[in-house]
Amino acid sequence: MTSTRIARTAVVAGAVGVVVLTGAGTASAESQVAEPATFTSAFTVMATPEMVVDADSAPAPGQPGAWGTFMYRINSDLDVLCYDISITGVTPPYQSPAKTATHIHEAAAGKAGPPRISLPDPVDNGRGRMVSSGCLQGPFTTGLAPTGTDTGDGFTLAQIEADPSAFSTDVHTTAFPAGAIRGQLSQVPTGGVETGAGGTADDSSSGAPLAALGGSLALAGAAAVAVRRRAVRS
Amino acid sequence: MRSGRGGLLACCLALALSGCGGTAGTASGSAAAGSEGVPTSAVPSSVVPAPPGALLSPAVVDPATVPAPVSVAVPAIGVQSDLTELGIAADGSAEVPEDFDLAGWFSGGGRPGSRGPTVLLGHVDSTAGPAVFYDLRDLAPGDVVEVTVADGSIARYAVTGSEQFPKDQFPTAAVFGATTEDVLRLVTCTGEFDRGARSYIDNLVVTAERLP
C-alpha cells in the first residue's frame, strides 16, 4: 500500500519523508523545502487515543497506551509548514484512503472533519519512538477526493492561524482506522522571547561554546535543531 | 543554606555588569551537570521503550482540569512574584510582562499537575536595573522552584539544567512543545545586549522537573 511504501523509504534521522504524488490528475501537490528563517506561528499537539472520533463524530477510542507529540511551525507568508512528529505505542501498519495516514484535519474537538494536509508517516527511530519531520510548501493535496475535488484543494496554512482549535491531527492505522491517536492544535509562541531591555545583564564573553543541547530539552522527534550559541563579535 | 552562595552571587553580578561573562561558565556548567541522566522531555520517565502492546499509557492530564499557577518562588535566588497571564502577540511571538518586576505564565500551555510544559517568562532587567529574573542564570541543578496554584497548593520542582539559545534559533519545540511530563521552564534574556535594538540576542531557559 502506498502509505507503507512511504514509511519504508523515508529516512529516519531528521530527514524529510518522501511525499508521493497521487495520480489523481488534479493540481500540483506540496513540495519539500528548506526550513524558513522565521515563522509566523507555531502549534503543538498532545495526541491521545481518548480524543479519537469516527466519521459520525461518535467516540471511537484509539490505541490504548499510545500517545504522540506534534510541533507544527508555519510561515503563512510562504505557505510553508515545518512538522516535527514523535509517536509512541502506535502499532503499524498505517492505513488511510488518503496518500498518507498522518493528517491535519479541519475538525473541531470531538468532531469529524476532512483532512487538509497529508504528512509523511512516522518511522521507527530505533529508540522506541516513531518520528517524522521536515518542511512542506503548499498547495497541499491529500489524495482524498470523495466528491471529485481533493480535500486539500483551496486550503492554505493561514486558515490554521485564523482558528487553530478548529484543526486536529491524527494518525490512522489498520487496527484503528478512525485514528490511533488524535489531538487538537494549540498555539504556542514562535521565535525568541523579549524579556530584557536594560543591558545590565550583558554577557558578552566570547565564550566557550555552551554544552550541547542536553537531555532535559531534547526535542521530540529526530529533527534536532542546532542550538549552539553563536559566536559573539566585539 | 549556601553560605558561599552570597559571595558567588555578588561576584557574578559584578562580572555581569562589567561584561566579563563569568556567568556564561556557570550556565554551561549547570547544563552539563544537569543534563546527565535526565530523561528527555518527550519520553516520560514512567514509560520505558518496549515492544508495541507492552507500553503503559502515561496519565495525560488536560491543563484545563487543574488550577492555574498564580505565583512563583525561587528561594535560592530570592525570587518571589505573582504570575501574570501571558498569551501570544499579534506577530505570533510570546507576550511578555509589562511590569518588569512581575513574572508571567504562558496560559496556552501546561500547568502544575498537568501535562507540560508549564512555561514562566520574566524580564532579566529594565533600563532601571535588574528585573524579576535577573539571577536566573545562577540557578544550579537541585535548586527548588515553588509554584503556587489557584487553590493554594504548592507544586515543587527541582532545576535540572540551564541552556542558552540565540533568539533567532529559538528551539520552539524544545521549550513549548507538548510533553506528557509535568515539567517547568523559566525563560529570560541573556547574552550580548544589542544596544541598537535594546534587546538581548539570547534567551536563557531553565528546566525543572516536578518533585513528588
DSSP of B21-50: -HHHHHHHHHHHHHHTTPPPTTS-TT----
pLDDT of residue A217: 54
Q: How far apart are CA B106 and CA A187, in angstroms?
A: 11
Q: How far apart are CA A194 and CA A177, in angstroms?
A: 44
Nearest to B93 among A88, A161, A189 (CB): A189
For residue B97, being part of any structural domain is answered with: yes
How many distinct structural domains can be found in chain B? 1
* Residue A170 CB coordination number (10 Å): 27
Q: How far apart are CA A33 and CA A10, in angstroms?
A: 15
pLDDT of residue A30: 93
pLDDT of residue B110: 96
Residue B54: partners with Cβ closer than 8 Å, 6 or more residues away: none
Phi-psi region of A175 (alpha: psi -120 to 50; beta: other; left: phi over 0): alpha
Pairing of strands A123-124, B183-194: unpaired
Contact flag A214-B126 (C-beta cutoff 8 Å): no
Q: Which CATH number covers residue B116?
A: 2.40.260.10
For residue B9, being part of any structural domain is answered with: no
Q: How far apart are CA B70 and CA B81, in angstroms?
A: 9
pLDDT of residue B162: 96
Contact flag A191-B37 (C-beta cutoff 8 Å): no
Contact flag A218-B122 (C-beta cutoff 8 Å): no
Is residue A44 classed as helix, strand or coil in its secondary structure? strand
Between A116 and A209, where is the model more confident? A116
Looking at CA atoms only, how far is residue A24 from chain B in angstroms?
Answer: 35
pLDDT of residue A205: 57
pLDDT of residue A129: 94
Contact flag A203-B192 (C-beta cutoff 8 Å): yes
Q: Report the interhelical angle of B3-18 vs B22-35 (nearest 10°).
A: 130
Q: How far apart are CA B101 and CA B133, in angstroms?
A: 8
For residue B3, being part of any structural domain is answered with: no
Mean pLDDT score, A79-92 = 97
In the stretch 119-148 of chain A, residues with CB closer than 8 A to chain B read 127-129
Nearest of A90, A99, A77 to residue A6 by alpha carbon: A99
pLDDT at A156 over 70: yes
* C-alpha B81 chain-centroid distance: 14
pLDDT digits (tens, 9 = 90+) for B3-12: 433 333 333 2
The model's confidence at residue A220, banded by pLDDT at 50, 70 and 90, is very low
Give the residue from chain A lying closest to B49, CA to CA: A128
pLDDT at A93 over 70: yes
B144, B7 Cβ separation under 8 angstroms: no
* C-alpha A158 chain-centroid distance: 16
Is any Cβ of chain B less than 8 angstroms from the Cβ of A210?
Answer: yes
pLDDT digits (tens, 9 = 90+) for B164-194: 999 989 999 999 999 999 999 999 988 888 8
For residue B156, being part of any structural domain is answered with: yes
Q: How far apart are CA A131 and CA A119, in angstroms?
A: 12
pLDDT of residue A221: 38
Looking at CA atoms only, how far is residue B63 from chain A in angstroms?
Answer: 11
Please report the ipTM that was assigned to this predicted complex: 0.76
The model's confidence at residue A211, banded by pLDDT at 50, 70 and 90, is very low
Ordered alpha helix ranges (H), B52-124: none
The model's confidence at residue A16, banded by pLDDT at 50, 70 and 90, is very low
A119, A152 Cβ separation under 8 angstroms: no
Which cell is B164 given?
542558552
Percent of chain A with pLDDT over 70: 75
Contact flag A219-B173 (C-beta cutoff 8 Å): yes
Mean pLDDT score, A19-27 = 47
Residue B72: partners with Cβ closer than 8 Å, 6 or more residues away: B79, B80, B81, B83, B103, B120, B145, B146, B147, B148
pLDDT of residue A199: 77
Nearest to A218 among B42, B52, B56 (CB): B42
Contact flag B121-A192 (C-beta cutoff 8 Å): no
* Residue A28 CB coordination number (10 Å): 9
Instruction: Tell me what the pLDDT averaged over chain A comes to.
Output: 82
Residue B142: partners with Cβ closer than 8 Å, 6 or more residues away: B158, B159
Q: How far apart are CA B83 and CA B104, in angstroms?
A: 5
Nearest to B125 among A42, A198, A218 (CB): A198
pLDDT of residue B5: 38
Contact flag A211-B171 (C-beta cutoff 8 Å): no
Looking at CA atoms only, how far is residue B129 from chain A in angstroms?
Answer: 6
Q: Which chain A residues are within 8 Å of B40, Cβ to Cβ?
A: 215-216, 218, 220
For residue B50, being part of any structural domain is answered with: no
Mean pLDDT score, B126-141 = 93
For residue B25, being part of any structural domain is answered with: no
Give the residue from chain B lying closest to A67, CA to CA: B57
Pairing of strands A102-106, A31-32: unpaired
Flag the least confident range among A126-135, B46-55, B77-86, B101-110: B46-55
Q: Which chain A residues are within 8 Å of B201, Cβ to Cβ?
A: 230
pLDDT at B26 over 80: no
For residue B186, being part of any structural domain is answered with: yes
In one-letter notation, the amino acid at residue A186 is S
Mutate: best of B172, B183, B198, partner A, most A CBs <10 A? B172
Pairing of strands A80-88, A130-137: antiparallel
For residue B170, being part of any structural domain is answered with: yes
The model's confidence at residue B116, banded by pLDDT at 50, 70 and 90, is confident
Range of the domain at B102: 40-44+61-210
The model's confidence at residue B196, banded by pLDDT at 50, 70 and 90, is confident
Q: Which chain B residues are within 8 Å of A49, Cβ to Cβ?
A: 57
pLDDT digits (tens, 9 = 90+) for A182-194: 999 999 999 999 8
Looking at CA atoms only, how far is residue A148 from chain B in angstroms?
Answer: 36
Which cell is B177 given?
512543545
pLDDT at A216 over 50: no
